Every structure is written in structure tokens, then in C-alpha cells.
């Protein structure tokens, strides 16, 4: 079954410029901005500009160019934040999907969390 994309979701509004965001990086196919309720000293959201609901939707339907752009954008942000484990203290990426994943915004996004020890992966 195909996903239905809700173009009234908050990230669609950010992409259309209808509400502001704290941009970290923008590329041809991706946008990264700071989470409005940060859970760590560094909390950046990376989103594709295309209308994809979840990580699996993006991976299944996005073009090779969109996918490469997204992951290269992610890598550049990690390097710019200085959190890559080769030289920095590391990070965690999370992408919540659907009900059990407790996804609030139905536009695919990757959370990059860093800047403090993040504890174990899940609390429950």
C-alpha cells in the first residue's frame, strides 16, 4: 500500500517558507535545521525536500540523486558539528516512523543528536 503524504505537516510548511526554521544546511534536495525542542546540545533534523513520509518511503521511492544528496548532507553536518567519532565524541541518528515509532511529523526526517553521552538506545 502506498503512503499518503499530508502536505499540511509542519515540515512541508517549513519547506514552503510558511514558517521559519533555524537552518544548518541546505542543498539541492535536502534541508537541515535545528530541532525546536532539542534533546541534546546538538539536535539537528535532516529532511528531503521531496514528499516522503518515512525512511522506508524515501528509500523505496526517492531518486538516486535525492538519496545521495540526503546522506552527503548528513555527513557534512556531522563533520561540521565536529561529532564524527574519528575525531569527535560521536552522535546518534534516529528516524521515527509510524505509531510504534512515535512519529509526530509525517515527513521523513533524520534526527542527529550529539554533544553529550546519550545513554542506551531505548529506555523501555
9 binds ligand AMP (CB under 6 A): no
Quote the CA–CA distance of 83 and 32 in Å, as a whole number.
16
Quote the CA–CA distance of 52 and 108 in Å, as a whole number.
6
Measured from the Cβ of residue 74, the count of other Cβ atoms closer than 10 Å reads 18
Choose the stretch contacting ligand AMP; rule: CB under 6 A; options: 46-54, 63-71, 72-80, 95-103: 95-103
Q: In the complex, what is the shortest distance from the CB of residue 57 to ligand AMP, in angstroms, rounded to a whole number?
A: 14
1 binds ligand AMP (CB under 6 A): no
Choose the stretch contacting ligand AMP; rule: CB under 6 A; options: 29-37, 46-54, 67-75, 84-92: 29-37
Quote the CA–CA distance of 107 and 5 in Å, as a whole number.
8
21 binds ligand AMP (CB under 6 A): yes
56 binds ligand AMP (CB under 6 A): no
Say whether 109 is catalytic: yes
**Which DSSP string do the residues of 41-89 spell out, in sequence order?**
SEEEEEEESS---SHHHHHHHS-HHHHHHHHHHHHHHHHHHT--TTTS-
59 binds ligand AMP (CB under 6 A): no
Polymer length of the chain: 124
Binds ligand AMP (CB under 6 A): choice among 40, 84, 103, 115: 103
Indicate which residues carry an active-site annotation: 109
Which residues contribute to the site for ligand AMP (CB under 6 A)? 10, 19, 21, 33, 35-37, 45, 96, 102-105
Amino acid at each position: 500500500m502506498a503512503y499518503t503524504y499530508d502536505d499540511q505537516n509542519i515540515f512541508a510548511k517549513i519547506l514552503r517558507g510558511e514558517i521559519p526554521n533555524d537552518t544548518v544546511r541546505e542543498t539541492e534536495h535536502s534541508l537541515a535545521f535545528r530541532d525546536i525542542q532539542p534533546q541534546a546540545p546538538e539536535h539537528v533534523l535532516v529532511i528531503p525536500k521531496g514528499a516522503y513520509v518515512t525512511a522506508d518511503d524515501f528509500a523505496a521511492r526517492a531518486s538516486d540523486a535525492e538519496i545521495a544528496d540526503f546522506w552527503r548532507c548528513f555527513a557534512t553536518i556531522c563533520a561540521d558539528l565536529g561529532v564524527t567519532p574519528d575525531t569527535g565524541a560521536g552522535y546518534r541518528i534516529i528516524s521515527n516512523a509510524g505509531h510504534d515509532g512515535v512519529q509526530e511529523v509525517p515527513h521523513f526526517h533524520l534526527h542527529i543528536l550529539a554533544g553529550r553521552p546519550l545513554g542506551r538506545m531505548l529506555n523501555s
